[in-house]
Amino acid sequence: MHKFIACLLLVFAVSVPTAEAQSPEPPDVKPDVKGVWLTTEFPVVTVRAGEEARFNISLVNRGLPPQRATFSVENAPKGWGIDLRGGGRTVGAAYVDYNGKTSLDLKIKLPSDAQPGQQSLVVKAQTADRTFELPLTLTVQPETEEALTAEPKLPTLRGTSRSTFDFRVSAKNDSAETMLVTLSAQAPRGFQVTFKEGYGSQELTSIPIKAGENKDLAIDVKPPQGVAARQYPVTVQLAADRAKGFRPALFSAVRVSQP
């Protein structure tokens, strides 16, 4: 048998400028900027009703003595939660050192009935002799129905009264936040139903599902010994508080035959 070897030749071209083509580096010019100001990287954000918007805010001091600033947030509609934090705690004022920067985290919690549209807010920092303002804009979208969906795989299984019927269900959280999903089942008397995650061994009664995440669930159904040979219905129910009353119910069947 002949072996074929393919060779790839790479040619690199390096261009070296001549002395005449080289230009001197520009001088390191540092403008004489002095003052205090408020900044944020993203002053305009989109958020849904019922969600929380966050802004990373910086209080910057250039060339001035240490400054103390008292903060306020204005123009927030009634019912909106405003929480300005520094160092993990709610704060109302902060110091910024000479040529320093103080970082703050502004959290704005919108109620579920927040009106869609644009809302302008202003963060103010009041020092001893001046007030600094940072305008923010929130584009509010209406709250959507948070969907919890579930899809069974092989909804009908066949076996004997000595079998354990292993159903598989794929559950998905189509909302913007984590859901705690409660698992339950309705089965004929004497049937044992247990829930597990994927191929795990731990029995579950509930499971958290992150936003946009799929979870594979294993549902084991064990019929009682000596049960008559026929088809038995099993209804699996998934429930989550944030799913707005939607309760995915999956109907499956256990078909028991004679051993």
CATH of domain 35-141: 2.60.40.10
Predicted confidence at residue 3, as pLDDT, reads 31
What 8-state DSSP symbol labels residue 129? S
What are the Cα distances from residue 238, in Å, to 56, 90, 201? Answer: 37, 38, 20
DSSP one-letter string for the chain: ------------------TTT--PPPP-------EEEEEES--EEEEETTSEEEEEEEEEEESS--EEEEEEEESPPTT-EEEEEETTEE-SEEEE-TT-EEEEEEEEEPPTTPPSEEEEEEEEEE-SS-EEEEEEEEEEEPPPPPPEEEEEES-EEEE-TT--EEEEEEEEE-SSS-EEEEEEEE--TT-EEEEEETT---EESEEEE-TT-EEEEEEEEEPPTT--SSEEEEEEEEE-GGGTT---EEEEEEEE---
Q: Where in the chain is the domain with CATH 2.60.40.10?
A: 35-141, 148-256
Give which of 114, 102, 145, 135 is closest to 52, Cα–Cα. 114
Lowest mean pLDDT among 27-36, 57-66, 79-88, 124-133: 27-36
Whole-model pTM: value is: 0.50
CA distance linking residue 209 with residue 206, whole number of Å: 10
Does the pLDDT value for residue 225 go beyond 80? yes
CATH of domain 148-256: 2.60.40.10
Backbone angles phi, psi at 242, to 5 degrees: -80, 0
Length of the chain: 259
Q: How many CB atoms lie within 10 A of CB 185?
A: 19
Q: Can you tell me the mean pLDDT for 204-210?
A: 92
Q: What is the pLDDT of residues 103-155, one digit of tens each?
A: 999 999 999 888 899 999 999 999 998 999 999 999 998 766 557 888 888 77
- Binning pLDDT at 50, 70 and 90, where does residue 11 land? very low
